Structure 1
Amino acid sequence: MYSRINENIKTLRELKNYTQQYMALRLDMTQAGYSKIEKGASSVSFEKLEEIAAVFEMDVRNIISFDISGYLDPRFKSSAAAGQHSALNTLYTDKIALLEKLLEKTDRELNVYKNKFGGL
């Protein structure tokens, strides 16, 4: 069960487009220490799992029960899959919003440089 939780943490982090370094900073630990959690080389305490859930903005139960395979097979139609589908849609929506903000910031910076250097 612990390896599944570790795999779920890694999958959710990747879906959120967070780096291990970002997670480590948010959890007040080293990147190497965080990496050990994902690899299952270090056990994760319930308190740390609560902190990880807070970073992901989700409930600990959703991390424990997360199963991406339900999203890969459209024939899987249980109510649990529907709830997870909603959570996955939220993750993707968050990821898209983050990328859009990054593009807007990049466009603003590009315009600053165009104005500064005459639009070379």
Structure 2
Amino acid sequence: MKTILKVAILLFCVTSFAQEQKVDYKKLDNDMVKATYYFADNSDLVEREGFFNADGKLHGTWINYDVNGSKTIIAHYKNGKKEGTWTYIKKDKVDIVTYKNNKIIDVKSEEVILN
């Protein structure tokens, strides 16, 4: 009984402090839907945006941003699967991962030189 009570209290605490993320959806003419997700603690800052196809699968380019508005990931999907070149942008390097049919086929890293 004590274990059940502890779990119930834990779940209540987690859900009480969870913030709901704002999401905007915009239907486009080509049966695509553009989705824009905002940071939960600041509904004016875009966290990521991209597209869903008519089947509701990730499709096309998706971009993730940090809280300063800088791009952190540029990703590509084709019918819900990772496809093409993904770019992971970090402070000191850029990782470039190439996917084909949801599988990694190449990985490269390039150092970022700041002047």
Same-fold call, TM cutoff 0.5: no
Q: Which has the higher strand share?
A: 2
**Higher relative contact order (Cα pairs below 8 Å, separated by 6+ residues):** 1
Q: Which has the higher helix share?
A: 1
TM-score (norm 2): 0.23
TM-score (norm 1): 0.22
